[in-house]
């Protein structure tokens, strides 16, 4: 029977693929037996629980509340034989340690906190695998008495880390957990001298009223993935890597989406949007979240918040559970169980981080110009809508295009301000952004030169006539094959009627020669006609005349 039981356990606890993010759950609100049974049932290999210092040592140092200690004893004793690791977050200050009835005011002396967490680590040496020092210390919701700051938290973190390591060197100590992916706060910890006082960073992505799928994100004013985007952990890791801690893990100790049908009641969007998603969307977001994390090996574990609803009421905070308040399973339970037992089976990238492709139509590299400069470009993005195309010259913005952008459809400007740039090399930059702020730039080097300084340039005038009856259109160009300068000046187009063996000009008009020209004319009468275009010349461009185009109009 024992052998059968062990085989059954081994089958039921098949881990995800090597290197995949470990699956965990937050179990507060459950008895130790319920917590371990439900975590085991869903296939979690981590459970996260709160240790309230103010409830455990309310009467003074070393005077522990037996009920609190017994609950932790039971949890770790039940979890260990089932292969479930425990992450404990220690938070809350007793009145004797902060002089306040508000337990979210940190201790007056960080050494008191360090002594407590160290003594707990000693008691559970080898049985509590990881510790979090406080809960969301970057948020005013959990850090009272003074504004949250990296320096203030670093003063608590440094002695706590040493105390845990002295008591249980094998235990991990995480900085945070932080609200969202608060990468500026992480940089602040390094600036405050906290390097070496944490084994990794913990983050929370179940932020207030989040309804955005995990593969969608926004960028902040610095152009980085925003703090409250699920994928913002990329920025946390970037900060860690820049400070020499790129090999240390990130643990997402809370992730989740509420299945409430109510409106948001807290945070910046209070009253402005829905507070949750449908149960089907909750399950879908869960599976996509773990698929996203599978692409980032440095995210070592992710713990769903929470195993069970905290209450019966339909509100945001009471609808995160894999289990409803009556212990019935939401679809998210099966979704997490599938991931825990079989790993991520989704394919494809998570999140679009590639900029659009950019094609520059004008100008070409090395082109010389003297007055106006035609700039034309298009962009394409297979994953996301185009957001903006901007033209620059020598780093100065010329114009942005945002309305009606379409893949492959050029935008252009015949920029008259180009004549005001200094003579010499000019760098034209085309910048394209998609809706996620991913950017691609192309640079084209051109030359602002004085056309009058060129030697005389031969020009060529070409015409084409179209139309029927008395309504005809002429299209033409004037070019100087020996230079990339646009031809300046005017071209005179003449419509001539054959009358008694002579050609008489009945219609004429001038057009700019620096770009293709079009001239539509209703002819005065039927007969034999011809069209001729005369470029009048403007230094350094020599005058030229087109061939005569003859036709009969009836």
- Predicted pLDDT of residue 20: 80
Please give the mean pLDDT across all residues of the chain: 94
- Predicted pLDDT of residue 524: 96
User: Burial, 137: exposed, middle or buried (Cβ in 10 Å; 0-12, 13-18, 19+)?
Assistant: buried
DSSP H/E element including 157: helix 150-167
Percent helix, strand and coil across the chain, each rounded to 5?
A: 25, 30, 45
Q: Which residues pair with 46 in a beta bridge?
A: 24, 85
Per-residue tokens: 289: 């979240």
In this structure, are residues 231 and 350 in contact, taking their beta carbons and an 8 Å threshold? yes
In this structure, are residues 214 and 350 in contact, taking their beta carbons and an 8 Å threshold? yes
Please tell me the CATH superfamily of domain 2-342, with its number: Glycosidases (3.20.20.80)
Q: Which residues pair with 511 in a beta bridge?
A: 491
Report helix, strand or coil for 301.
strand
- Predicted pLDDT of residue 10: 35
In this structure, are residues 255 and 473 in contact, taking their beta carbons and an 8 Å threshold? no
Counting Cα atoms < 13 Å in the Cβ hemisphere of 265 gives 9
Angle value at C-alpha 221, between 409 and 389, nearest 5 degrees: 10
Q: Average pLDDT in the 234-262 region?
A: 98
- Predicted pLDDT of residue 486: 81
Residue 8: pLDDT band by 50, 70, 90 thresholds? very low
Report helix, strand or coil for 527.
strand
Per-residue tokens: 16: 């995800």
- Predicted pLDDT of residue 14: 38
Q: Average pLDDT in the 155-163 region?
A: 98
User: What does the DSSP 8-state code read for residue 320?
Assistant: -
454-553: what CATH class?
Answer: mainly beta
Domain 357-449 identical in fold to domain 454-553: yes
**pLDDT of 290-331, one tens digit each?**
999 999 999 999 999 999 999 999 999 999 999 999 999 999
357-449: what CATH class?
Answer: mainly beta
Please count the residues of the chain. Answer: 554
- Predicted pLDDT of residue 16: 40
**pLDDT of 470-508, one tens digit each?**
999 999 999 999 887 888 899 999 999 999 999 999 999
Q: Average pLDDT in the 365-379 region?
A: 92
Residue 11: pLDDT band by 50, 70, 90 thresholds? very low
**pLDDT of 60-90, one tens digit each?**
999 999 999 999 999 999 999 999 999 999 9
Cβ of 332: how many Cβ atoms within 10 Å?
A: 26
- Predicted pLDDT of residue 482: 81
The C-alpha atoms of residue 500 and residue 503 are separated, in whole angstroms, by 8
Is residue 13 scored above 80 in pLDDT? no
The C-alpha atoms of residue 374 and residue 546 are separated, in whole angstroms, by 25
- Predicted pLDDT of residue 268: 84
The C-alpha atoms of residue 16 and residue 175 are separated, in whole angstroms, by 26
The C-alpha atoms of residue 159 and residue 134 are separated, in whole angstroms, by 13
**pLDDT of 345-361, one tens digit each?**
999 999 999 999 999 99
Q: Give every strand in the sheet of 411-415, ordered side by side.
A: 357-362, 373-380, 411-415
Q: Where are the beta strands (DSSP E) in 207-267?
A: 250-255
Instruction: Give the start-to-end residue ranges of the domains of the chain.
Output: 2-342, 357-449, 454-553
The C-alpha atoms of residue 96 and residue 458 are separated, in whole angstroms, by 95
The C-alpha atoms of residue 269 and residue 207 are separated, in whole angstroms, by 11
Is residue 288 scored above 90 in pLDDT? yes
In this structure, are residues 352 and 384 in contact, taking their beta carbons and an 8 Å threshold? yes
In this structure, are residues 279 and 331 in contact, taking their beta carbons and an 8 Å threshold? yes
- Nearest CA to 157 among 143, 175, 177? 175
Q: How far is CA 73 from CA 59, 61, 131, in A?
A: 20, 19, 16
State what percent of residues in the chain have pLDDT above 70. 97
Is residue 48 scored above 60 in pLDDT? yes
Q: How far is CA 191 from CA 55, 140, 151, 204, in A?
A: 33, 21, 8, 22
Per-residue tokens: 182: 């608060």
């Amino acid at each position: 029977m024992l052998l059968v039981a062990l085989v059954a356990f081994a089958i039921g606890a098949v881990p995800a693929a090597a290197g995949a993010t470990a699956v965990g759950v937050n179990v507060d609100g459950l008895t130790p037996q319920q917590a371990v049974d439900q975590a085991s049932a869903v296939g979690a290999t981590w459970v996260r629980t709160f240790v309230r210092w103010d409830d455990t040592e309310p009467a003074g140092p070393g005077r522990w509340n037996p009920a609190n200690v017994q609950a932790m004893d039971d949890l770790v004793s039940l979890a260990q034989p089932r292969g479930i690791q425990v992450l404990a977050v220690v938070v809350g200050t007793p009145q004797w340690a902060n002089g306040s009835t508000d337990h979210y005011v940190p201790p007056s002396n960080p050494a008191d906190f360090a002594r407590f967490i160290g003594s707990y680590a000693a008691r559970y040496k080898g049985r509590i695998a990881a510790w979090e020092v406080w809960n969301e210390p970057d948020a005013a919701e959990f850090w009272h008495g003074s504004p949250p700051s990296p320096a203030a938290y670093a003063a608590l973190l440094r002695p706590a880390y040493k105390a845990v390591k002295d008591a249980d060197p094998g235990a991990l100590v995480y900085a945070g957990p932080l609200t969202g992916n608060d990468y500026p706060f992480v940089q602040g910890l390094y600036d405050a001298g906290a390097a070496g006082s944490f084994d990794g960073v913990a983050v929370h992505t179940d932020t207030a009223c989040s309804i955005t799928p995990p593969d969608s994100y926004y960028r902040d004013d610095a152009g980085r993935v925003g703090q409250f985007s699920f994928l913002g952990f990329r920025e946390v890791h970037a900060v860690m890597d820049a400070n020499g801690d790129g090999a240390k893990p990130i643990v997402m100790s809370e992730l989740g989406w509420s299945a409430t049908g109510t409106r948001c009641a807290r945070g910046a969007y209070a009253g402005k949007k829905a507070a949750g998603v449908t149960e089907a969307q909750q399950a879908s977001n869960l599976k996509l979240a773990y698929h996203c994390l599978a692409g980032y090996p440095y995210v070592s574990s992710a713990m769903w918040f929470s195993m069970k609803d905290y209450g019966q009421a339909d509100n945001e905070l009471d609808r995160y559970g894999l289990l409803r308040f009556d212990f019935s399973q939401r679809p998210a339970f099966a979704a997490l169980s599938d991931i825990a037992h079989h790993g991520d089976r989704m394919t494809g990238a998570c999140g679009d981080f590639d900029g659009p492709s950019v094609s520059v139509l004008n100008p070409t590299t090395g082109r010389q110009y003297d007055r106006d400069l035609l700039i034309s470009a298009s962009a394409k993005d297979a994953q996301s809508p185009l957001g903006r195309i901007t033209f620059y010259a020598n780093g100065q913005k010329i114009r942005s295009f945002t309305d009606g952008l379409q893949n492959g459809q050029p935008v252009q400007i015949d920029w008259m301000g180009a004549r005001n740039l200094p003579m010499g090399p000019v760098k034209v930059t085309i910048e394209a952004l998609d809706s996620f702020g991913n950017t691609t730039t192309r640079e084209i080097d051109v030359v602002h030169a004085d056309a009058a300084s060129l030697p005389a340039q031969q020009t060529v005038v070409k015409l084409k006539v179209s139309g029927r009856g008395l309504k005809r259109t002429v299209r033409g160009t004037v070019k100087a094959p020996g230079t990339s300068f646009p031809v300046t000046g005017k071209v005179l187009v003449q419509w001539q009627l054959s009358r008694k063996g002579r050609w008489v000009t009945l219609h004429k008009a001038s057009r700019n020669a620096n770009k293709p020209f079009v001239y539509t004319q209703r002819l005065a009468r039927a007969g034999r006609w011809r069209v001729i275009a005369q470029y009048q010349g403007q230094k350094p461009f020599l005058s030229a005349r087109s061939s005569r185009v003859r036709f009969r109009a009836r």
